[in-house]
Amino acid sequence: MKAYNFCDPRNIKAEVLSGLTVALALVPEAVAFAFVAQVEPLVGLYAAFIVGLITALVGGRPGMISGATGALAVVMVSLVVTHGVEYLFAAVVLMGIFQILAGVFRLGKFIRLVPHPVMLGFVNGLAIVIFLAQLSQFKEIPTDPSSNWLSGSTLYIMLGLVAVTMAISFLLPRVTTLIPAPLVAIVVVSALVIGFQLEIPTVGDMASIAGGLPEFHIPLVPFNLETLYIILPYSLILAAIGLIESLLTLTLIDELTETKGRTSQECMGQGLANLVTGFFGGMGGCAMIGQSMINIKSGGKARLSGVTGAVFLLIFILFASELIELIPLAALVGVMFMVVIGTFEWSSFRILHRIPKSDAFVLILVSGVTVATDLAIAVIVGVLVSSLVFAWNSAKHMYARVGTSEDGKTTVYEITGPLFFGSISSFRDLFDPQNDADDVVVDFRNARVWDHSGLEAIDALADRYTKYGKTLHLRHLSPDCRHLLEKSVSMVEEDREGDPHYGVLVDYDRMYHEDVEIPLKDGVKS
């Protein structure tokens, strides 16, 4: 892959124009999420500016856009309603501290535990959420859930302009990529609306975005344990949701750009951004997959695009609010619809019948839970279900080759498969202490002991044979397992030649050493 030249004037131009496009798309989103959280529009806009700027400067994923998001807003509303916006600012500060600690302790690396079906479900679910969020723009008052839907000529004009926006965004890149297609679409549709004086909703119909510079202030809350008790659960939930959405978006952008982001640095960047935002009257935020997709598709791959987007947003607030408020919502809706089309993994429909049914179920489940509740719950549910499926499938791969030595005095079990909490029942059923020979050898050369439950199963097996007065020999256990089975050491063979070297829950994939086999009369038990 050709290296990206950050000093190339063409790339700088692309970064700046991408930032401008992102800033235009951020305005209605930040305002809408502020209304969801029941705070002033500027609280959402300040969050979009501060979080976007700081994460662009010090975050772990250049090209990724962060700002106020709906996933966080739906959690914040309860705190705002019950205790007021100052408690929200305090919760955002504490949220930032938690996220910084997550980065310090490198917890971001655990995002690699998210299975691919969960990632697909996350992307599809978020695309649906973005699509549904745009439908409110087709109301007479976009910020009022009880407002009537547009009808008649106004609705048809709105739909037509959305279609024009999508057409320009789709077709222009086939002609030229010198200017981001979404930016051209917004300018053209805005010119049509202003030139023909079309009566359709604009950004100004949502709220005024005019304001000054964000001012530093310490949240006006009592600094005592009662306040901590109030904000702590909100901060923990917000920190978790923010990091999950940010790290999953980071993974998606990594795939699109064929580069590698830094998860721990992103955690600390998000944390610093929210910490500062709480002290400057912002509602906090995290990565935004929609705006990130706009940025990447428009040519923004470096930190400059994110910084430019944040700076343009501040310029809109300070100097250009009247001009920005003239932009028709139809143009921004059309851009976001194109984001939905580009974000949704349409290939998932083709693979549903080819992948394991459990993976297909997880994909659909995560998509549905994302739409019905929130991202954090959806990902946690998806990971749990995937983990249970993996444990169940692994447990079914426990079986044994059973035979006797040529002299008929020894019963030998050659165990194959992972021994862990999910497979101990199958492991126990492999043996027949009552009818086995007086001398029994259990060979673990083709097995692995994964956890403490596996060790306990071995120990329990020794007790079963002891009750029948029979001698049990354990072969090819690692030194780690032998050490943990000290109370059964008398039943462990003294011949240690060929023992594998691995720790319980560590180094599962190391190769086994060869050992002299006892000739068996074949028989397989599973």
Q: Which of 219-228, 278-287, 373-382, 460-469 has the lowest mean pLDDT?
A: 373-382
The whole-number pLDDT of residue 501 equals 53
- For residue 61, the tally of other CB atoms under 10 A from its CB is 30
The whole-number pLDDT of residue 526 equals 54
Q: Which residue type, as a one-letter code, is found at position 30?
A: A
**Is residue 34 within 8 Å of residue 258, measured between CB atoms?**
no
Query: Is the model's pLDDT at 143 over the cut of 80?
Result: no
Q: Which two tokens stand for residue 77?
A: 């509303």
What percent of the chain clears pLDDT 70, i.e. is strictly above it? 90
* Start-to-end Cα distance in the chain: 49
Q: Which residue type, as a one-letter code, is found at position 152?
A: G
**Is residue 51 within 8 Å of residue 273, measured between CB atoms?**
yes
Q: What integer best gives the mean pLDDT of the chain? A: 87
**Is residue 47 within 8 Å of residue 277, measured between CB atoms?**
yes
Average pLDDT score over residue span 97-124: 91
The whole-number pLDDT of residue 6 equals 56
Query: Distance between CA atoms of 337 and 301, rounded to whole angstroms?
Result: 22
What percent of the chain clears pLDDT 90, i.e. is strictly above it? 58
Would you mind telling me the total number of residues written for the chain in this entry? 526
Taking only the tens place, the pLDDT of each residue in 322-373 is 999 999 999 999 998 998 898 898 988 988 888 999 999 999 999 999 888 8
Query: Distance between CA atoms of 471 and 356, rounded to whole angstroms?
Result: 44
Average pLDDT score over residue span 287-299: 91
Query: Distance between CA atoms of 303 and 129, rounded to whole angstroms?
Result: 27
Residue among 409, 61, 433 nearest 269 (CA): 61
The whole-number pLDDT of residue 373 equals 81
For 152-178, letters b (16+ CB in 10 Å) and e give eeeeebbeebbebbbebbeebeeeeee
Average pLDDT score over residue span 380-403: 90
Strands 524-525 and 439-449: unpaired
What are the sequence ranges of the domains in the chain? Answer: 9-141+148-346, 396-525
Query: Distance between CA atoms of 23 and 38, rounded to whole angstroms?
Result: 22
Query: Is the model's pLDDT at 186 over the cut of 60?
Result: yes
Helix axes 375-395 and 225-257, enclosed angle (nearest 10): 70
Query: Is the model's pLDDT at 490 over the cut of 50?
Result: no
Q: Which residue type, as a one-letter code, is found at position 142?
A: P
The whole-number pLDDT of residue 243 equals 94
What is the DSSP track for 275-294? HHHHHTT----EE-HHHHHH
Helix axes 225-257 and 70-83, enclosed angle (nearest 10): 170
**Is residue 242 within 8 Å of residue 274, measured between CB atoms?**
yes
Maximum mean pLDDT: which of 89-103, 114-128, 166-180, 329-343: 89-103
User: Domain 396-525 has what CATH class?
Assistant: alpha beta
**Is residue 409 within 8 Å of residue 438, measured between CB atoms?**
yes
What is the DSSP track for 355-385? S-HHHHHHHHHHHHHHHHS-HHHHHHHHHHH
pTM: 0.79
